[in-house]
Amino acid sequence: MFMNYRRTKSRLPKISECGAETIQMRSVIMQPTDTLKWDQITYRRRIETFGADDGPAIAAGPKGEVDAVCQPGELTDRGRETTLELGQRLRHLYVDQLKFMPKLIADSDMIYLRATPIPRALESVQQTFWGFYPPAARTASFLPPTILTRTPADETLYPNDGNCRRLAQLSRAFAQRTADRWNDTDDMKYLSKLVGKWMPDPDRGVAVDSKPRLSGIMDTVNSTLAHGPETKLPKEFYDPKGRKIIEKIGVEEWFSGYAESKEYRMLGIGALMGDIVTRMTGSVERNGNDGVVEIGGDDGRLGQGRGGEQNIKLALSGCHDTTLAGVLASLGAFNTDKWPPYTSHIAIELLRKKDWTNPESPDSPALKSSEGGNMGWFKSFFSTVKAASGSAPKPEGIARRAISELSEHERKRLQGYYVRVRYNDEVMTIPGCAEPGRHLDGDKSLCTLEAFKSIVDKYTPKNWKAACMTNLGESAFPKSDETAGY
C-alpha cells in the first residue's frame, strides 16, 4: 500500500499553519548516568527568519501565529487528518470486512512500514498506521513498530533523479519536449491571460518552463485549495478550465516517460517495483523475502517477528504523488489527465484462488497465521554467523530473478496467485494482463502473478546505481515502441 500527501514547493508562503505538534515536539536524549539510559525531551519549536533589516525575526503563520506553524516538507493539520482517515478506511476494509488483518496486535511485525526521507512521508505513514491500529487496537505491551528508511542516495520509493544522473537527463528531456509542445498553444495563451499578471515576468506569462514552472503553479493551487482561506490565491488561479489545462500538461511532463520508455521506467520506478514483486514471491515461497527479516528481530538483530511472526501480511509505504503515478504509468494503467489528489493511495494486492492448493508450494499455505508453519529457513538463518552479526542473509528462492530465469518447478509455485491494483479504491486493469491466459477467467483486472512479474521484470534493473551511470548523453527517447504494461 502506497500513500502520498504532497506539499507545495513554489509560490505558497513558506510558513503555514501546522498544528499542536510543534508546541509539543519530542526528541530522544541520553541520560547523564553511569548506565546507558534514554529519555525524551519535549520542547516548543518556533521558526526564525530574516527580519526587515536582515536581523533575526520570528516567522509567523498566515494568521500571525508564532507557534504551531509548519516548514516546507512537513505535514499540515489537514494532511494528518486525511492520512488518519485513510488508515481508518483501510482498517474497515482489511480488519472489519475482509478479516484479513487481526483486530488486536501486540506488535506490528507482520506489517512492513517504510517512508522516504521527506518528513511528510514519514508523518503520513505514521498517521495511517495510527488510524489502522489505534491505541484501542494495541495491547498494553505493544512494541514500537519498525519503520524502514533509506539514505537519499539509496532511495527508490520515489523517482530519484537527484541521485540518478541518467534519470535526470531523461526527465529533463521529456520536460523539454512538453514545453516545446505546449508553450505556444492556445491553452497556454489562455493561462497567461488568466494568471500571467501575477508571474514574476508578466511579459512572458505562463509556460511549462517559466519561473515558477507550470507544475509549481499547480502545486500551489492544489495546496491552497486543501487548506483555509488565509492561503488562498486570487480567484483566477482556481478557474476550472485553467486547472484542467494545467493538470493535463503536468501529467504529460512528469509521467509520459514511464508510458513510452523502458529506460525511464527502469530508472524511475523499476527498483521499487522489483522490490514489490520480490516480496510477493517471498510471500508465496515463505522464505523471508517478503520483508519479515528486515522488520523482525529483537533490538540489534534481524529475524522473525518479535511475536513469532514468520510472514509479512501488509506493507504501508509513505511516498509521493510522483511515486503513485509512476507505478501506475509503468504498468500502463495511468490513463488520466488528472494529477493524483492529496492522500491518494495505491493498493497492490496479492490474492490466492479460493481452495487452491499448489503442490509446488511450501507446506504452509498463503496467508496462514504465524502459528506453526515452515520454520526451516529461519532455523537455517539463525544457525549462521550472519545472524549473530545482524547482517542480512543471501536471498533464497525466486527473489529478483526474472521469470525467464526460473525453472519449471519455480514457475509452478506462482500458479493460483493473482495481483490486483487499486488506485484510490478504483480497480485498475493492466493491458498486458488482459490477454488470454494472463488473468483470472472472467476478470481481466486479476492478473496472474506470473504475468504481473513478467511485465515488471522487463524494467527491473539488475543494478540501479550502475544503470544510473549508463547511456549518459544518449538520446532520451526510445528508437522503437516501448509502450508500458506489456
Dist. CA 118–CA 159, nearest whole Å = 13
The proportion of the chain whose per-residue pLDDT surpasses 90, expressed as a percent, equals 68
Beta strands in 7-108 (DSSP E): 16-17, 25-30, 38-43, 48-50, 56-58, 69-70
The answer to whether 77 and 17 have CB atoms below 8 angstroms apart is yes
Report the Cα–Cα distance between both ends of the chain, in Å, rounded. Answer: 22
Per-residue pLDDT at 282:
94
Q: What is the pLDDT of residues 306-324, one digit of tens each?
A: 988 889 999 999 999 999 9
Q: What is the pLDDT of residue 45?
A: 87
Q: What pLDDT shows up at residue 181? A: 98
With residue 242 as reference, give the H or E element that holds it: helix 240-260
pTM metric for this prediction: 0.88
Question: In this predicted model, what pLDDT tens digit does every residue of 34-75 receive, in sequence order?
Answer: 677 788 888 888 888 899 899 999 888 777 888 878 787 788
- CA dihedral (182, 262, 166, 181) in degrees, to 10, reads -10
CA–CA dist 167, 271 (Å, integer):
13
Residue 398 carries which DSSP code?
S
C-alpha 186: how far from chain center? 35
H or E element that contains 259: helix 240-260
Q: Which residues of 379-399 are buried (b: 16+ CB within 10 A; e: fewer)?
A: eebbeeeebeeeeebeeebbe
How do 443-448 and 439-440 pair as beta strands?
Answer: antiparallel
Which residue intervals of 156-213 are DSSP H helices?
A: 165-182, 186-195
Q: Report how far residue 428's alpha carbon sits from residue 446's, in angstroms, rounded to the nearest whole number.
A: 9
301 or 355, higher pLDDT: 301
pLDDT tens-digit map of 458-470: 999 999 999 999 9
Cα distances (angstroms) measured from residue 437 to each of 281, 353, 434: 20, 15, 8
Tell me what pLDDT residue 68 has: 78
**Which residues neighbour 389 within 8 Å (Cβ) at sequence distance 6 or greater?**
none
Report CA-CA distances (Å) from 432 to 429, 447, 482, 483: 9, 9, 13, 10
Per-residue pLDDT, 102: 96
What is the C-alpha separation between 314 and 289, in angstroms, rounded? 14
**SS3 state at 168:** helix
Q: Nine-digit cell at 270? A: 523499476
What pLDDT is stored for residue 368 in this prediction? 36
Query: What 3-state DSSP class applies to 146?
Result: coil
pLDDT at 108: 93
For 209, the grid coordinates are: 518552463
Residue 396 has pLDDT above 90, yes or no: no
Q: What does the pLDDT read at residue 7? A: 41
Q: Which residues contact 355 (CB under 8 A, 6 or more apart)?
A: none
Contact partners, residue 29, CB within 8 Å, separation at least 6: 38, 39, 40, 41
| Share above pLDDT 70 across residues of the chain, in percent, rounded to a whole number | 87
- The full length of the chain comes to 486
Candidates 408, 417, 459, 460; CA nearest to 438 is 417
Which residue's entry shows cell 496462514?
Answer: 368
